[in-house]
Each structure stands twice: as C-alpha cells, then as structure tokens.
Structure 1
Amino acid sequence: MTIEPAMQRWRRAVAATESEQMGAMLLLTATIVAIAWANISGSYERFWSTDVKLSLGDSAVHLDLYHLVNDALMAFFFFAVGLEVKRELTIGALTDRSRAIVPAAAAAAGLALPALVFWIVAGSSGAAHAWGVVISTDTAFLVGALALIRPSHPARLRVFLLTLAVVDDIGALGAIALFYTDEVRVGPLAVALAALALIAMVRFLPSGRGPLYTTLAVVVWFGLHEAGVHATLAGVAVALLIPVAEPARHDVERVVELTRAFRQSPNPAYAAAASRQLRDSISINERLQRSFGPYVAYVILPVFALANAGVVLDGPTLERSLTSSLTWGVVAGLVVGKLVGITGATMLVRRTGIGVLAPGLTIGRIAGGAALSGIGFTISLLIVGIAIESPALQDEARVGVLMASVIAFVLGWLILSSLDRRHPVTQPGATLLRPFDPRRDHYFGRPDAPLVLVEYGDFECPFCSKATGMVTEVVNHFGDEIAWVWRHLPLRQHHPHAELAARAYEAADRQGRRNEMSGMMWANQDHLERLDLVRYADEIGLDLDRFELDLDSDDVAERVAEDEEDADLMDLDGTPTFFVGTRRHIGHWDAPTMIAALEASRSS
C-alpha cells in the first residue's frame, strides 16, 4: 500500500490495469501461436530442440532452446516473483497478520486440496507424482483476466488475489525445490551457497553493487544447475536476499534539497547528484521490480508460452486426452480444487473469527476470484516438463492445463458477472460512515456551520503536513461558515510513530492543548519518539505526569482506535483522505479545488 493522494492512486491503478491487460493478451497470443505452430508445421519441435552452449570459464552447460527458456530465461521470472515475495513479507500485505491471514489460509487450502483432487482422479495414470502441476496459480493470467472481466470495484478482490498468489508462489517454489529436484551434487551446491552468502553482504558496499549482484547471480545459477537443483530457483534465492525498505524521510528531503539547488544553479554536478539521490531513495528491490516487470510480462512469459504450449491437437492426442485420467486430474485439480479450497477456507476462517474480509468483499466475489485462480498456466506447464518424462503423458497434462485455464476463466467470468447483475457492490468509503458529531469530534469552527470538511490523517504523513496549509486557507476563506474535523488514521505499517503521535494529540486535548501539540508534531515529523513527545508536552506547558498517564491509558488508545475502525470499514487506505460534508472527495486537494468542492456541496 503506497501512501499517496487519491488522484495519484487512481492513475496508478488505471496504468496497472492497462499493463495487466496487455501482458495477459501477449501471453494468450503466444499460446495460440504455439498451438498453431505445433499443429501446422513440424518445425516446432526441431526449433526448440536446437542446441545451445552456455559456458563460464572451463565449465560449460549444454542446453537446447526449450531448456534454455525453462531453466535460464524463467530464472528471471522467478527472480521477479522472489522480489515481490520479499517485498510483501517485509513491508507489504503479508506483514499485517489480520489482513494476511484470510488470503494466506485460502492459498494454503488452494495448494493442498487441488493436489489431493488430482491424486484421487489421476492416481492410476502413472503420473500421480505430478500433483505439483495443479497447485499454482498463474498471477499474470489471473490479474489479466480480472482486468478483462472488470467486475464492479475490483480493487479489494485484486489485493486479496495478489496476496493469495504470493503465498501460492511460495508453496509452488517450495514444491519444486523439495519434490522435483534430482540427486544433489554437493560441490556445485556449496559454490552456489557461497555466492548467495556474498550476495547477502553486497548491500553493505558503498558502490558497484549492481555489477556484483549480476556476477554472483550468474554463479548461483550455474552452481544450482550443476548441483542438480532446478536452476530457476536461483532467481528466487537471489531475490530474497535483495534488500527492501520504505523510502527514508531524510533521503526524500535530500532529493528536494538537491533539486532546489539545481533549480537555483543548473549544472551537471547538481543534476547528477539529484538523480543519484532520487534513485538511491528507493530500495533496490523496488527499482528492480519496476525494471524487470515489463520484460517479464511482455517478453519472458510470452516466450515461455511459445516454447511450452505447443501441443499437437491431432485426433490421437485429443482422443487420449479426453479419456485420460491425467488430463481430467489436472482439470479437476485446478478448477474444482482451487474453487472449493480457496472459497471453503475463506468461509471457515471468516466464520471462526480468525480473520475478516476487507470492506466490499463477499464470499461470492471470493468464489469468482477462486475460480479464476484455476488458471495455472505458467508454473503448471513448467512442472509438466520437470515431473513427467513421457512425451505422450506430457501432452495429456498440457491439454489438461489448457482446458482448465479456459474453464477457470469462463467460470470466474460467469460468477463475477452474475454477482454484478444480482448484487451490485456499493463503493466502500464513498459516504462518511459516521457524520460530524460536535460532542465527540475534534473540530475547528462553529458546531452548526453549514459546511463541514472532515480529514482522516496521520501525524507522520508528509502529505498531511502539506495539507495543513490548504486547510488553513480554506478555513480563512469560509470563516465561520465551515467546521474542519480531524480524525485519526495512523498508517502503522509505513509510519511506526503515527499511532503514538495520535495518542499524544488526545492526551494533550485532555489538558486543552491539542492545537499546540499538533503544531509541534507537524513541525518535527522526523522526531516523534516518546521522549520527543514528552519534550513537546513540556514545552507547551502540560502537566507531564498527567500527560504520560493519559498517553498510556486505555481510554486514549480506544479513542484513536475508534477512528481507525471507521476508516477501515470505509476502506480508506491512504492519508490524507477528505470528506466534503458526508461525501468522499476524490481528486486534488489544493485550496482552490477544495473551496470549489465545498461551494458545490451547498446546492447538493
């Protein structure tokens, strides 16, 4: 969750949707081309059997083009997956237990039940050990399908499914490492492990980290390949050692200082320094995700589909597949196993009270997403090539993956479209859940003012700090015709001191000095530790003993929590968020825009 104004979040969401649609369409196009190529020309197999030699010093690896794609090129795909997993585990959705437990439990069931269904149906096929084919969801096709279907207000469902897909990927990668790895050779594995240990220390170097990461990553790939471990896991192993962190405030402020210096005195030195500081303020994990993302979506995955989806759909193959327990095991595992496993686990976790669904999500919409999760394309096809040796059985399994992907898409589309027609979703957060209450709210202005501006904010949020100037200008413009209301929304995941700052505001309010305390905190956003807050309380003349008692009191903590719970029910995920009267303000929040919105609310 990125903290940014609503208009920026909306533009980013639109761009992400368009990118996902494009990636899914390229993947689908490559699949169709591969099937057509394999059925029209006999050159498909010959082309992908072309020999390629990879060498490092005296060591050399001979691969054909098919294995070059699956073992080497797909390492970049797994590198991108690993970067996403590391980010989500460190600063993303999987750091918040209450938010992550439902999709995590659903993903676990969506791994186990498909494997069980496959084993039951395909147990007599001679390929029961290939249960890994049905455990993974293709994230690219999943989000692309969601973008194409366009269900009402898909944001929360998309977040749920992406969180589920991350856990799903972890399970699939673990299965490849534990169950689909040949005999391990100790010497090359030791080399790979030594290279990984060096990668873990690269972060401490002052410069030259990029080339060293690249060199060591190549060593890891060769080491794992020669050790007998599936070499694509090199991508994951390296990615999990790449550091990730939220931008530090002092780094961002340094960018501002250098940019200001460049504006005042444009020269190459300032330009280079500002560019370098801007780049370094974003963690290497997120820079790499942004750099690799387009290549993975637009090049690597389509090439993988081109190399793996070329099933000859002639009469004998189709006849074998339609009567094959392996084919129907794959279909049942992906379509039935994913749908029942994910939906059932979500219902169970929700009913037991262990976790809750985000506002706007229903079991029906979870079922639609669970159906789409049966699109197991990428890793499913990869495991087909790893787990099954017989070319005939491989074709049967690939037909099952293709059939399951089509069925899963159609089923998901039918469920979500039907729900949109029968039970339209009201956008959460469009209307203020709890109207302004002068007896309870913190406000400035007349309690019976005709205009009301409600702000949900965070004392450690830089955007909220900037918004204080706008609020002052708006209040001065309307005078006693407006009441401005402050409510707490501390974004704990990004701002570790925000919740304590909110409680300090409440504690100061109990001594009638909340405005003075908020002024001190806005002026010192980088210094909101407990000792800092006590010092500010002393400077504005508060009784320190009483202040500290109130700071730690359950009443004050509950007062902050009440605002947070309202924000959560309205699905507010960023600060500042404004409501003009009782309607959520979407768009820019500069003073002229906000004044115009308030004026327009008079006649509504």
Structure 2
Amino acid sequence: MAARRRGAFQTRAGRTALLAQLSRPVRSFLATEAGSAGLLLGAVAAALLWANSPWSGSYEALWATEASLSLGDLALSMDLAHWVSDGLMALFFFVVGLEVRHELSVGELTDRRRLAVPAAAALGGMAVPVLLYLAVAPAGEAWRGWGVVIGTDTAFMLGALAVVGPRFATQLRVFLLTLTVIDDIVAVSVIGLVYSGRTDLPALLAVLALCGVPALLSRLGIWRATPYVAAVAALWLATVLAGLHASIAGMLGGLLIASRAPGREEVERAALHLRAFQQAPLVDVGMLARAGLDRAVSVNERLQAVLHPWTGYVVVPLFALANAGVDLRGGVLADALSSPVTWAVAAGLVAGKPLGVGLCALAGVRLGLGRLPRGVGAGHVFGGAALSGIGFTVSLLIAGLAFDGEELRDRATVGVLLAAVLATGLGWLLFRAAALRGETDADLPRVLARPVDPARDHIRGLADAPLTLVEYGDFECPFCARATGVAQELREHFGDRLRYVFRHLPLPDVHPHAELAARAAVAADAQGRFWEMHDLLFEHHDRLEFEDLVSYAVDVGLDVERFLRHLDDERTAARVRADVAGAEAGGARGTPTFFVGTRRHTGPYDARTLARELEEHGGAAPPGT
C-alpha cells in the first residue's frame, strides 16, 4: 500500500448512521495506486525479460553494485538491491504510516466501530493463508517463508479491481483499504520481529528516543515539514544501524506525524494572504501566502501530497524491477512449478486470502461486530478478497528476507507471480458470479432520492429554472455553500437560470447545535422567513445556542412566541428528519453534499467546478416530478 482529495473540507458524520463520504486523501490515493498499477506490471515484465535475456548478467551485476553514503568517519554501504529494499521501501512504508495516521485521526477510520469487520477480515486473511502455507510447504527452512503469504499489494489490487471489478466500487474500495491498513501494520510488525537481524542495543535505544521527536514536533504545533523529514531520516539511519528492517522506521515515522482537519480561521487567513498577493504580486507577499496555505494544511497531508506520486510511480516499480527478475532458464521454471514452496505460496495467497477474508468478514457481520459498507454485498467481499491475494510488493520483500538461498527465494518469487495471475482470474469469476446474483455496483446511491418539490423545498430562484443545484447542509458547518460564498457566486453567475435548493443534514455528533438550528430554520419558514434565518444562522455558525436562536428570530422579525411553538413542534422535527432520510437514500454522508440536477456531485465543490457541472449535467426535472 502506498498511498491516497475533497473530504478535507467536508464535515462528516461521526457516530450516527450517516457515515462519512470518502475523503479527498483517499480518492487521491486510489487514483495514484490504480494509475501506477500499469507501470508496476510493466516493471515486472521488464525484470523477467531482462533476467531471461542474453544480458541477464548485467541485471545481476546492476543490483549487486555497491553504493555508499559517508559523512566523516560515518559510512553506510549497501548494494543497490538493498538500497531499494531498505531505503526506498522505507519511504513507501513512511507514506503508508502517514495515511494510516490521517485515516485514524480525521479520515475514514475515526469511527472505530467501522474497523471491527475489516479487522476480523484482515486477521483471517493472514491466519488462513499462513496455515495453508505451512500445510503445503515442507518442514525445515521452507517454513521460514510463511510471512510471504500475509501481505497484499494495494497498487496491484486496486488496478485489478478497476479492470475486473464492478463499474462503481467506491464502497468496496473503502472496505479493502481499511483491510490493507491492518494488513500493512501486521506485515511490518512481522518483518521487524521475525525477519530482522541481530539488534544493536545502543542503536535500538536511539530508535526509541528518536520516535519521540516527530510526536513532540506535532504536539508543539510545528507546521514546517523540514524538521519532521530530518527526524524521520535520523530514525531510519538508527533503525538500519540497530539491525532492524528499515520498513519499521518508515511506518513508525508516518504514524507519529499528526493529522488534523483544516480550521476555519486558518483557511480564512490563507485566503486573505492570497487576495493580498493578487493585489500586490510581490515576492515577500507571495511567501506569506505560501506560508499561510502551508499552515492551513497539516504536515501529514502535505507530505502525502508530495510523496504519493514518487512511491506510486517510482519506488514500487523500481522495487519490482529489482526483485521480480528470476532467471527461469535451465529448468528453473519446471523445478519451481514442481516445488511445494511455489504451490504453498500460491495456495496461501489464492485460496487462503478469499477464504480467510471472506468468511471472517461475514462471520463478523453475523456476530454483530459491525456491518459491511452500504452497497457492498457478500459477492463483492469474496471478489475483493480474491484480489487481496495479489501479495506482490510485501510478499517479494519478505521472500528476500526469509530465504538465504537463491533457490528457495526464486521458487517463492515464482509462487508470488503465479498467485497474482490466478488471484486476478479468480476475482473476475467471483465478481461475475456476484453480478448474476444482482450484486452489481458496490457504491453509494448516486441519484437524488426525492425530486425537488417547490411546494415543500426551500428554493432560491425561479421554481422552473432550467438548472438545479441541491445542497445538503448543516448550519454549524463552516464549509457549506452559504458559509463559503459558493452559493451566492453561482447565483450571480447563472441568474434566473439556476434554482438553488437547500436541504437539512445536521450532524449532531460533530456539530451539537446543528439539529436545533435546522429546526429553527424550519420554524422560521412557517412565518415565511426561512432564507433570512438561513443566512443569519450561517453568518453566526459558531453561535447557535438556544438563546442565540431566539435573538435571531427577533432580528428577522418573527413572532417569537409562535416561533418557539414551532421550534418544539414534532412536525418541525419530522421535517428535518425527512431531509436526513433523503440525504442517506441519495448517498449523502457529509456536509456539504451537492446534487447537480439529480446526480450526486463528487470531487471539489468550488464555484468554478460546480458551474461547469451545472452547465453539463444540471438540467432540472419539471417542478413537482
């Protein structure tokens, strides 16, 4: 897994039934991994062709070339193959650690209840393959390779999912990514505890001390990335000198760099600096603007944005080029195909993964540990579980660490490559079988559940305008359209061509005053003052106590006694609940969520992007339909 943008500025539900929409870092991760899968496959093919060509000697000689780093009397020397596996792969796992920390802090895994079923699936997807491997492999040195079958290559898995999986598989991807988070943590732990060499105690103590540096920098609120990079580099060096595998340093370094959601004040301050630069494009003003942007986004996310392309398009393919080159001539292929080690690896990955992941996931649901993501069925789970048998990157890394002899290492490598082909084919068959049972798309609904009704909905603009934009919003959300000015900008741009519809989606777990504020807006609507109250609530989104709402009712000229009666009326609460139900039925999981015409919008929701979508897909259905 190397790693993953809209959700950083979207308020998401916490512990209600309304689960968060896929975050922007996660979508970037998906795009990077799926895009790099083709390059990774090309690197595998190039390595095999090179290693089996008349120039195979140059392949071996290249990766055996020594390279050194020295500073004074301190020198670190390794061959290129080890620089790739111990150096560049540490960067790979550093990005994994960053993404895990982000998802646990502000991303998809903030609700720990969502971890239960994927955790059960991940543990089953490691235990069953290991048992199958040990059952097939001969006792002795071959048993050391049991770790080869525990890993999943996220890049290959997602690339294969894009080819053989459902047309829309966002929710299945969320499930599989959650699973691989746990998978990667366990895999790195196994590498560190089982496959590392003899440890050096002073260097190990230095590792423990250096672990506190990124955490301390995060706690102190240091926003520049350079100190974190220096601390993690020192942690990597200490880990190598301690005799531990460098992947440990990468994962730990990423996990220790905190992630946080952008604050409203920081975003506004950055916007002020940008406007100042627009008015006075001077170097010092531009530097202030850049610093303002950096302050608004956590170091964790900024490092992800810089490193994702490098790990996806350089590090992982280079690792494949260095490790997939098995010379299959001279009977090596025939020997590998007749070896129990090869088939132990293939059995563990191709049979063990779908059985372990699929059965444990369904057992977790049956036992009440949690639920599968909405839109994901049992057939989807088994299809995705089959693709998790593509263990490529981590499997090859562990094979190189587990076996000292080239013969066993080559047999395990052939098993990993064979498993990648078989697992993809099995995934295709399982997805086709699921489709025959009616399990097609593994995604949230994409269509507006309840058509716009001028007699019921809150509409700004002409009721029969040709373009429609529906927003599900929360009055305590600082990034909703009214709060950011997006709605006003769009109305100024389109004029009478646009009808803007606001529907309620209060998220009480993250915004404790949002539900009462939504009821206040509905109560104001009973006196024909919805939009006045709407604007005032967003203008004071940080002041929504009961006394504040009464004050706003006075400000907009409401009969306060009547307003209070409507505020407590069950019909008012039912009106809000109906909007929430419509939001869930349409796939809205956070605020703001926009529907352009009748289609749920995904991606950035700035005015320019929404305007383009409205021009292309914003046709309004006839009023009342």
Please tell me the TM-score bracket, short chain as reference: 0.7 to 0.9
**1:152/1:420 contact within 8 Å kept:** no
After TM superposition, give the deviation of residue 331 of structure 1 in Å: 0.6
Deviations 1:397-426 (A, max 9, x none): 111111111111222233334545774736
- Given candidates 29, 44, 47, the residue that maps to 2:59 is 44
Question: Percent identity of the aligned residues?
Answer: 39
Once the two structures are superposed, residues 548-590 of structure 1 have per-residue CA deviations (whole angstroms, 9 ceiling, x without a partner) of: 9989x99998876664454334322454445578665789555
Cα RMSD between the aligned structures? 4.1
1:296 to 300, 308, 311: 311
CA distance in 1, matches of 2:535, 2:246: 56
SS in 1 for 2:472: strand
For 2:262, what is the secondary structure of its paired residue? coil
* Alignment partner, residue 113 of structure 1: 128
State the 1:334 CA deviation: 0.7
1:146 CA drift (Å): 2.1
8 Å CA contact retained: 1:247, 1:283: yes
Alignment of 1:112-511 (within 5 A): 112-124=127-139, 126-149=141-164, 151-203=166-218, 209-417=224-432, 419-420=434-435, 423=438, 425=440, 428-434=444-450, 443=458, 454-459=470-475, 460-465=477-482, 466=485, 468-469=487-488, 477=496, 484=501, 486-488=503-505, 490=507, 496-497=510-511, 499-506=512-519, 509=522
Distance 2:230 2:595 in 1: 52
> 7, 23, 28: which is aligned to 2:41?
28
Q: Which runs of 5+ in 1 are unaligned?
A: none
Tell whether the 8 Å contact from 1:125 to 1:324 is kept in structure 2 after alignment: no
TM-score, normalised on structure 1?
A: 0.84
The 8 Å contact of residues 454 and 623 in structure 2, kept in 1 or not, is answered as no
CA distance in 2 between partners of 1:429 and 1:398 (Å): 41
C-alpha separation in 1, matches of 2:269 and 2:241: 46
1:462 counterpart letter in structure 2: F
* Distance in 1 between residues matched to 2:596 and 2:393, nearest whole Å: 47
Q: How many pairs were matched up? A: 589
> What's the CA shift for 1:189?
0.9
TM-superposed CA distance for 1:13, in Å, is: 9.6
Rate the CA distance shift 1:195–1:122 in 2: closer, same or farther, 3 A.
same
* Structure 1 residue aligned with 2:13: none
- Shift of the 454–77 alpha-carbon distance from structure 1 to 2, 3 Å rule, reads closer
Deviation string 1:344-365 (CA, Å, 9 cap, x unpaired) is: 1222223334322333322112
Q: CA deviation at 1:316?
A: 3.3
How far apart, in 1, do the equivalents of 2:167 and 2:178 lie?
20
Which amino acid letter does the alignment assign opposite residue 114 of structure 1?
A: P
Residues 42-65 of structure 1: CA deviation (Å, up to 9, x unaligned):
233232222223335433333222
Distance 1:580 1:134, change over 3 A: closer
Paired AA for residue 570 in structure 1: G
Other structure's SS at 1:94 match: coil
Alignment correspondent of 1:523: 539
Moved more, 206-215 or 108-117: 206-215
Deviation at 1:517, TM superposition (A): 4.8
Aligned to 1:355, the other structure's residue is in SS state coil
Cα 1:484/1:566, change in 2 over 3 Å: closer
Equivalence for 1:572: 588
Are 1:102 and 2:113 counterparts? no
Are residue 92 (structure 1) and residue 96 (structure 2) matched? Answer: no
> Which amino acid is 1:152 matched to?
R
Are the aligned partners of 1:358 and 1:571 in contact in 2 as well (CA < 8 Å)? no
Alpha-carbon distance in 2 for matches of 1:592, 1:304: 40
Matched, 1:62 2:66: no
Where does residue 540 of structure 1 map in the other structure? Answer: 553
- Report the 3-state secondary structure (helix = DSSP H, G, I; strand = E; otherwise coil) of the residue aligned with 1:540: helix
Could you tell me how far 1:328 is from its partner in structure 2? 1.1
Query: 1:489, 1:567 within 8 Å by CA — same for their partners in 2?
Result: no
| Residue-by-residue CA offset, 1:99-137 (whole Å, 9 max, x unaligned) | 433323222221222112212222536322321111110
Counterpart amino acid of 1:350? V
1:183-212 deviation digits (Å, cap 9, x = unpaired): 322101111222222232234668794443
Q: 1:491 to 1:411 in 2, by over 3 A?
A: farther
Contact 1:125-1:326 at 8 Å conserved across structures: no
Corresponding letter in the other structure for 1:519 = D
Contact conserved, 1:475 with 1:484, CA < 8 A, in 2?
Answer: no
Give the letter for the 1:537 counterpart.
Answer: V
Residues 1:598 and 1:295: Cα distance change in structure 2 (over 3 Å): closer
Letter in 2 for 1:502: E
The alignment partner of 1:42 has SS state of helix
Task: Name the stretch that deviates more: 393-402 or 339-348.
Answer: 339-348
Secondary structure at the aligned position of 1:93 is classed as coil
Of 463-472 and 231-240, deviating more is 463-472
CA distance in 1, matches of 2:221, 2:27: 37
